Amino acid sequence: MSRNVRKRAARKAPAERAAEIAGTAREIALDQGLGAVTLRAVAAGAGVTPALVAHYAPNMDRLIADTFTGIVMAELDDVLELVSGETAASARLARLVETLFDEGRVDVTVVWVESWALGRRNTTLAEAVRAAMDAWQQAVEKIVADGVTSGEFTTDDPAAVAWQLIGMIDGVNAQALVRWGRSAERGSLIVHAMEATLGLRAGTLR
Amino acid sequence: MSRNVRKRAARKAPAERAAEIAGTAREIALDQGLGAVTLRAVAAGAGVTPALVAHYAPNMDRLIADTFTGIVMAELDDVLELVSGETAASARLARLVETLFDEGRVDVTVVWVESWALGRRNTTLAEAVRAAMDAWQQAVEKIVADGVTSGEFTTDDPAAVAWQLIGMIDGVNAQALVRWGRSAERGSLIVHAMEATLGLRAGTLR
DNA sequence: GCCACTATTGATCGCACGATCAATAGTGGC
DNA sequence: GCCACTATTGATCGTGCGATCAATAGTGGC
């Protein structure tokens, strides 16, 4: 119980310390939200002085934006990895949706929602948010376009459909943040809506 | 140009002053977001000292929550009023969706999004958000249920469908906050998804 | 016309934030 | 083993926040 107050942080290589700080910022963002990523909070989490955090991050807006990007893009990678197991576009999309509606994803949803709000005053973050949204949209658009090519899906505007799918998923997830419960219908209903959007027979997407 | 510094606020009846403060808070929320509704900002906007705002509001969490509720419930009333002109459930739903996708609604969308984020640290607001969401859901559920009764819609869970519709609309609107443009497809695509959810032929909802 | 009542204020507290900078203390290379 | 280099710190500034409270100044009722 004697280690409440840390004496002095061990000297580390800059790269290592930087990674450590980024990691701490990430943890805080995931379990307390992006808004909790503060100079002092990150410092405390990393067992270091606020000054040191400031030394490694050009400014907090940047650190927050980078933390956001790190979390959200890592998730995109994960999902794409998971999805890559399937060959058919409809199967890939089904896996993607299934994953995005998984329970344990609340933390990332919070990050998204907060990014939309914070982005209105943190332009650095706003830019990162736009970039991340574009990346997600492109990934989904690719699946949709592949499905169109293979004859699985029917639409004349894969880009717009991708935006729509993402919006629907985010919206329903965000809603679940505040008013949770009803996760059962949540999944099946939205899948049905998506099938319609893609010109599919009911049940095709799982 | 001489009125930069206000000498002293005219003495007013408590009810009038309270209304004035609430109105100022509302204006600030609508054009700078809920997060900008601050003791000092409201005071400045109302031409009054922070202490006076504090005198009328029990605390800021309450004022913010009340401001949120005021904005969001007023919008619900407006929309219901507008929709009441139609008799058929499908026509009412069509009007509702059309209205919610209108351009000038960005400000209210910002309030919603910010409420989801702020609600995680302001429990008073969180409660207000849940209440408002329930109110909206019930309103939509009523339309859906009416449609089912009249044979216009087909679903065995109007409540879940209502949640879904609201989620989709909010999601797509929130997305438009950051990544705007493509408002054209936005409307028609989501309407198509909704038609599918309600077992309607394409085009029924406008 | 006066005065009790009360709307309004000024001053001030404590807190958390981002940021800066000179001083300090480890350590790798010689 | 020493020392130059630099990772780390402590102290501190300025800002904005919510909140409190005694003092002040309008005004409605008599």
**Cβ of A39 < 7 Å from strand D?**
no
> What is the token pair recorded at A164?
């729509």
Dihedral sign, Cα of residue A183, residue A81, residue A130, residue A154: negative
d(CA B22, CA B66): 8
State the pLDDT at residue A2: 39
pTM over 0.75: yes
Q: In the structure, what pLDDT confidence band is assigned to residue B7 with cuts at 50, 70 and 90?
A: confident
Mean pLDDT across the stretch A180-192?
72
Give A83-88 contacts, CB < 8 A, sequence gap 24+.
A83/A143, A88/A150, A88/A152
Which nucleotide lies at the shortest CA–C1' distance from A12?
Answer: D7
Can you give the distance from the CA of residue A52 to the C1' of nucleotide C20 in angstroms? 12
Q: Which two tokens stand for residue A167?
A: 């919006």
Q: Is the pLDDT of residue B175 over 70?
A: yes
Q: Which domains, from first to last, does chain A contain?
A: 10-58 (1.10.10), 60-197 (1.10.357.10)
Q: Which nucleotide is nearest to A53 (CA to C1')?
A: D8
Q: What is the pLDDT of residue B2?
A: 39
Give the burial class of A39: count Cβ atoms within 10 A of its Cβ; 0-12 exposed, 13-18 middle, 19 or more buried: middle
Q: What is the mean pLDDT of residues A177-186?
A: 68
Task: Evaluate if residue B3 carries a pLDDT over 50.
Answer: no
Q: What is the pLDDT of residues A40-86, one digit of tens each?
A: 999 999 999 999 999 999 999 999 999 999 999 999 999 999 999 99
pLDDT at A185 (0 to 100): 63
pLDDT in tens, A101-158: 887 889 999 999 999 999 999 999 999 999 999 999 999 999 999 999 999 999 999 9
**Across residues A178-203, what is the average pLDDT?**
81
Asked whether residue A11, judged by its CB, lies under 7 Å from any atom of the DNA or RNA strand D, the reply is yes
pLDDT one-digit tens code per residue, A55-65: 999 999 999 99
